[in-house]
Structure 1
C-alpha cells in the first residue's frame, strides 16, 4: 500500500479467509527517495494519459517490487498479492478514480496472482470508491474482541473513519459499518514543511507542539461545503486548495498547529454522523505519531482517543494488511464495499485478478 502521504510503500503478510483474520505476519517498508517523491508529486491530479503519469507509475511498480522481494526473502511465499497502486486523481462524481501501477506486470514479474484496481467497479456503480478499508476494520474489531461500537480513524494524507458495530457478523450487513473521509490530515502539514523547509514532515509534530492554533482559521475551514455533505463521501488529496493560503501569514509553528487543529476539527465534525456514539477512537496511520495532531484530537473529539497500537494491532501497516485481506475477498467472490461505506448502490466486490506465468 502506498497512500496519499506518498512517503513510501508498506507491505505486510496476513493469513485470512477473507472473513476472519487468522494471524498477522511480518511487514516491511520501502521509502520513496526525494527524487522519486518529486516525480510522484508532478503526477498528482493527473489522469492516465498525462505525460507525467508513466514515469511516476514506473516508480510505483519498482518500489513495490523492491519491498515485496525484501519481505519474501526470509518468509513464506504468499499465495496472493493485493496491490493498491498510487492514487493520483480521485473524482468519483466526474472522471472517476486513478491509481497508477500495473498489477498485470507485477503478476508476471513475481509469477504470483495479483489483485488490483480495487476502486473502479465501485465508482462505476455509483460509489465513492473510498474508503475501502472498512470491511477489514470490521474484521479487526472482531479480532481484538471489541464488544461495543468503536471508530477506526486513519490519518494519512487524508483522514478517514470507519464506525464499526462488532456485534454484526458481516461487514456488509445493515448497521455494521459507516465510513467516510473526514478531511485533510497529514498532507497539508507535510506540504507546508516541504514548501517552507524542504523537509518531508514535522517529525513527531515537535514544531507544531510549540505553536498555537488560530481558531478563527479553523472555523473558516469548517465552513467548506464538504462538511455539510452527508456520508458516505470521499476526498482527493488536493480537494482543499485554499487551506495553505489560510495559514500563509502565520509563523511555522502556529501554521502547523492550526493545520493540525483543522484536521482534528474535521474528525470531530465527522463524529456527529456516527449512528451511535463510539466507546473509543483508535487512531492508525502516520498521523498518530504527530503529538500535536493527537493533542488536538483529544481536545476536540468527545470520546477516548487511543493509538491503535495499544490494542496489539500495527498502526503503521493496517492499510497494507487491509489490501491483503481485500484481495482474498475478491478471490473468493466476496463483497468489498457497501452503501454505508462508499455509497455504492448495493454491496459490490471490486478488483481485477491477474495471474503470473503459471496461471
Structure 2
C-alpha cells in the first residue's frame, strides 16, 4: 500500500470505436482539499490496418489464437509506452492500462480486456496496473462504467460528466451517491456507418447533416433502447452486433439518412437523461463525439435551456479516459476504492486491478 501524495503515471486507453491507442502522461497531487491533475504529454497512436483487423475480429479467435494475440498486443502496448517515455524523456511511477475490450459479459461472470499486463511490463520495463474490471464482475457488478470514480474525485464541479466515445455514458451525484450508466451507442455506430463510405469517421457530422431522419429506423432504434433502458446493462460489442448493427445494415435507407437517424437517436437518448434532472445541469462533454459539431448542436437544441454543455480543452476531451485510468491505478496502488458499488451494482466497493513490478 502506497501513501505518497505525488504521482507521475502513464494512462493507456483503447476504446470500442478503434480510433487508436491513447497514451497520456499525467501528474497527480493529493492535498487536503482533494486531488489535482495535469496532462503533461499525450498522443493517440492510430492503429495500422492490420491491428484494426485483429482487434475488430478478436472475438472470433480460438482460445490459443486469443492468448497469442493477448501477448502480442501487450508487447505492442509496452513498446508504444517505451517509445513514448524515451521520446519525451519521462520518469514515471507506473503504467495503468485499460486494455482493449474483446468480451464483456458480466451476466456470465466474465469480462476480458486484451493486452497482457505481463507482456506490457516486459516490453516497457516499467511497473504496470491492469485488469481493472474483472474483480467487480466477480463481485456481481457490471464491471462498468469505471470512469465515474475518477469523475467523483477529479471533476466534481460538474453536475454531469458525459463521455461521448464508442458508447455514450454519463455519471452524476444523486443525493450524495455517485451513479452512472451507459446510455446508448455513439461513435461505434457512427463510425460503423462512415466505414461504408470508406471513411474512418464522419468529420463534424457532415454526412449526417445532409441526411434526413428515417422514421422506421428511428422507431426500431427507440424500441431497442426502450428494452435496454429497463435493465441499464453495460453496453458492449455483443449487444451492438446483435441488436444495432442489423438495423444499420438496411441498404434500402440511404447512408446519409442512416447517419442522420442514428445521430438524432443518440442525441435524443442522452437529452432525455439530462432533461430528467429537476435543475439546470452543468454538463462536461468529453470523448471523440464532443468534437462532432453537428451532434453537439443537436444535443444543445434538444436540451434547450435545461443544460449548459461544456467542452474543455482538447487534451481533456481526447484523453480524459486515459487520465482517469491513470488515476484509478493510483487508487489501486494506494489500496483505496476505485470501483463504486453505487455505479456497477456489485456487492461492495472494491480496489480493483492487478499489479506487476510494484
- Give the TM-score, by structure 2 length: 0.85
Q: Which residue of 1 aligns with 2:253?
A: 250
- Partner SS for 1:76: coil
Q: Taking structure 1 as reference, are residues 304 and 278 closer, same or farther at Cα in structure 2, changes over 3 Å only?
A: closer
- Matched position secondary structure for 1:253: helix
**What is the aligned partner in structure 1 of residue 26 from structure 2?**
14
For these two proteins, the number of residue pairs brought into alignment is 337
Rounded Cα–Cα distance in structure 2 between residues aligned with 1:75 and 1:48: 40
2:299 corresponds to: 297
Asked if 2 retains the 8 angstrom alpha-carbon contact of 1:11 and 1:71, the reply is no
* 2:57 corresponds to: 42
The aligned counterpart of 1:223 is: 223
* Cα offset, 1:344, TM superposition: 1.2
Q: Which residue of 2 aligns with 1:136?
A: 150
Return the structure number with greater strand share.
2
Q: Distance in 2 between matches of 1:285 and 1:66?
A: 22
The whole-number CA distance in structure 2 between the counterparts of 1:58 and 1:83 is: 15
Q: What is the deviation of 1:244?
A: 3.5
Q: CA contact under 8 A between 1:2 and 1:85: conserved in structure 2? A: yes
Contact persistence 1:338–1:347 (CA under 8 A): yes
Cα pair distance change 1:150/1:47, threshold 3 Å: farther
Pairing 1:116–2:130 present: yes
Q: 1:305 to 1:56 in 2, by over 3 A?
A: farther
Q: Quote how far apart the aligned CAs of 1:90 are.
A: 0.6
Q: Is the 8 A contact 1:133 1:323 kept in 2?
A: yes
Are 2:4 and 1:3 aligned?
Answer: no
- Deviations for 1:296-339, whole angstroms, at most 9, x for unmatched residues? 322333532524326x8611000100110000000000111122
Counterpart position of 1:314? 316
The answer on whether the counterparts of 1:42 and 1:52 sit within 8 Å (CA) in structure 2 is no
- Report if the CA contact (8 A) 2:162-2:283 is conserved: yes
Equivalent of 1:150 in 155, 159, 163? 159
Q: CA deviation at 1:84?
A: 0.8
**Aligned equivalent of 1:86:** 100
Is contact 1:39–1:56 with CA below 8 Å preserved after alignment?
no
**Partner-residue secondary structure (3-state), 1:73:** helix
Q: Does 1:260 align with 2:274?
A: no
Q: For 1:32-58, what per-residue CA distance to the aligned partner results, in whole angstroms no more than 9, with x for missing partners? A: 012220111111x45882635633652
Secondary structure of the corresponding residue to residue 246 of structure 1: helix
**Shift in alpha-carbon separation, 1:150–1:206, aligned structure 2, 3 A:** same
Of the three residues 338, 342, 346, the one matched with 1:344 is 346
State whether residues 77 and 120 of structure 2, in contact with CA within 8 Å, keep that contact through their aligned partners in structure 1. Answer: no
Structure 2 distance, partners of 1:76, 1:59, is: 23
Q: CA deviation at 1:95?
A: 4.5
Distance 1:30 1:53, change over 3 A: same
Deviation at 1:286, TM superposition (A): 0.6
2:109 and 2:137 in contact (8 A); partners too: no
Higher helix share: 2
Partner SS, residue 129 of structure 1: coil
SS of 2:57's partner is: helix
The TM-score normalised by the length of structure 1 is 0.85
Look up the match of 2:179.
178
Q: Gaps spanning 5+ residues in structure 1: where?
A: 166-173
For 1:57 and 1:267, locate their aligned partners in 2 and report how far apart those are by CA, in whole Å. 37
The answer to whether the 8 Å contact 1:297/1:305 transfers is no
CA distance in 1, matches of 2:303, 2:70: 38
